[in-house]
Amino acid sequence: MLGRFRVSAGSHEIAASDWTSSKSLVLFQYLALHRSKGFIPKDVLVEMLWPDQNPDKAGRRFNTATSQLRKILEPNLPSKAPSAYIQRRKDHYRLCLGPGGRLDLETFRDLAGQAIKMEKKDPRAAIHLGRKAVAIFTAPLLEEVLYQEWCIRLKEEETSRLCRLCRRLVNLSRDNGDLSSGILFAEKYLRADPYDEPMYQSLIHFLLETGQTGRARRALKACLQRMAELDCPLSPGIQALQKNYLLSGQTHAGPEHIHPSHSPIHALLG
């Protein structure tokens, strides 16, 4: 779900050209994103795929899309045989990944949750788990899916989840003197939300403290550009950095200046 869209059934990766039906692809993505809800009513799926269309006609189209999806996932599945992946209970459907199957989005959520739980108990472990979590978040959820109403809210939710995690881990990294992790989390945050001035300030301080003045200047330049786009006045903290360090040629900010502030399915959907 994060990064380039890829699905593997067992050791076989399903090629992009195999997704001959756009509705089958959307159905798969929807079922994958809503696995935690269990079996999804057919009516919900039909309305998502064909909003405001004649129910009977849309129902027949749904049956076709479901059949096509089964064939994409299991090309050798005999006619009328139950699918190992698209499970049906009366008129309700769910996606089963199979033993050992994984979904990158679920892995990210799990690692993010573990990191937050370890925040106070073992900060170092929390930072380690957080690094693993953000490494999975290579790109926004379903990056190639644009302007489809069914996933807009979900895309925003996962971006917000990433930003909340990174903000907590930036603070945790600063408190525990792990400047390299602080840089990692701040940069990951800013790729998701490039208009957060306090996060730029944290990143610049981390970079100055580690002697990376060139990167700090580039971060400040990006911050100034973004704030200009918003027509926002600069905070005193950014003004101070601009004046005292990055424009004066000073290359190091001391500690006193640090900002407080069946075969399994594997799905990677971007």
Query: How far, in Å, CA of 116 to CA of 100, rounded?
Result: 25
> Each residue of 149-174: pLDDT tens digit?
899 999 999 999 999 999 999 999 99
Judged against a pLDDT cut of 50, whether residue 108 lies above it is answered with yes
Name the residue ranges covered by the structural domains of the chain. 6-95, 102-257
| 157, containing H or E segment | helix 149-175
Q: Where are the beta strands (DSSP E) in 96-171?
A: 102-103
Name the pairing type of β-strands 86-89 and 40-41.
unpaired
Same fold, 6-95 and 102-257: no
38 φψ region: left (φ > 0), alpha (ψ -120 to 50), beta (else): left
Q: How many CB atoms lie within 10 A of CB 150?
A: 16
> Each residue of 220-235: pLDDT tens digit?
999 999 999 999 999 9
CATH class of 102-257: mainly alpha
> What distance lies between CA 221 and its chain's CA centroid?
26
Mutual orientation of helices 123-136 and 104-117 as an angle, nearest 10°?
160
Longest C-alpha distance within the chain, in Å? 74
- Strand pairing partners for 141? 2
> Each residue of 57-76: pLDDT tens digit?
999 999 999 999 999 999 98
* Global confidence as pTM: 0.85
Contact present, 128 and 181 (Cβ < 8 Å): no
> Each residue of 188-212: pLDDT tens digit?
999 999 999 999 999 999 999 999 9
What is the third-level CATH fold of 6-95?
Answer: Arc Repressor Mutant, subunit A (1.10.10)
Judged against a pLDDT cut of 90, whether residue 139 lies above it is answered with yes
Query: How far, in Å, CA of 178 to CA of 174, rounded?
Result: 6
Would you state the pLDDT for residue 145?
Answer: 85
